[in-house]
Amino acid sequence: MEDINAEGTVAAKSTVPVSNWQRLRASAVHLYTASGAVLTLLILIAAYNGNAVLALWLILATLIIDSTDGLLARRFRVKEFLPSFDGSLLDNIVDYMTYVLAPMLLLWSMGYLPGGTFGVVLAALPILASSYQFCRVDAKTGDGAETDHFFLGFPSYWNVVAFYAIVFDAGVWTVAAILVVCSVLVFVPIRYVYPSRTLTFRKLNLTLTSLWIVSYVVILLQMPNPDAFLLAFSLLYLVYYFGVSLYLTADMLKKPSHVR
């Protein structure tokens, strides 16, 4: 059978057979992604039991899964071997649970949000803002004519917000201010670095992100009294991340529209 490709010419469909082993590996990648949903359940149980440090360890596990499942999907050609399964939809569902719902419930249950109706409203702001962002077709740039990969708008890193709120034992009004500001930034078209895919400064981004993950681990090992120098180093990564994102956004705006 023949297809008409994007250029309007006739292209033959691939007749290369797919083995059961190839399908099994592709399915295993999807299962790996889906395991983040199970970890979300465990995060909520840890939060309910008042074990914030365990919850943060589990959040780290979801970060690692989300950072590696895309690489595995491309390595094992998941789209090609399981074309009837929407891995992108699965990834978005799991990401929303691990990056948005779990951190908000963790902050709420551990007392980092004001009580009463106002606290509910504050928790709802990131949930609503991220609902919008996760449904944007341009939330991740670089799939069409783009030559680089970014998140458009604050990339719903509420798990990172929860991490710093807990390790610094931040006050409820500090957390409230951060939630409001970051919720607004979801709608501001700043291009945020996609650490594993942004081409510009990619090696530096990956190196610093890896060091940040190491600092995350050591901080948790030192809880409840992490080293002040380590905390400062960890925060410097955030300064770099936001700084390079603003720099690359400004640089992109200087270019003619046809080369953006």
Instruction: Output the domain CATH number for residue 188.
Output: 1.20.120
Evaluate whether residue 199 is within a structural domain: yes
User: Which ranges constitute the DSSP H helices of 49-86?
Assistant: 52-75, 78-81
Number of domains making up the chain? 1
pTM of the shown model: 0.87
Task: Provide the pLDDT confidence category of residue 10 given band limits of 50, 70 and 90.
Answer: very low
Range of the domain at 28: 16-259
Element containing residue 88 per DSSP (H, E): helix 87-96
- The answer to whether residue 142 sits within a structural domain is yes
Instruction: Give SS3 for 150.
Output: strand
Asked, for residue 223, whether it belongs to a domain, the answer is: yes
Which tens digits make up the pLDDT trace of 138-187?
888 775 444 578 999 999 999 999 999 999 999 999 999 999 999 999 99
Q: In this predicted model, what pLDDT tens digit does every residue of 51-70 receive, in sequence order?
A: 999 999 999 999 999 989 88
Does residue 72 sit within a domain? yes
CA nearest neighbour of 129 among 185, 46, 201, 51: 185
Distance of alpha carbon 133 from alpha carbon 92, whole angstroms: 11
81 closest CA partner among 34, 143, 17, 32: 17
Residue 28 lies in a domain: yes
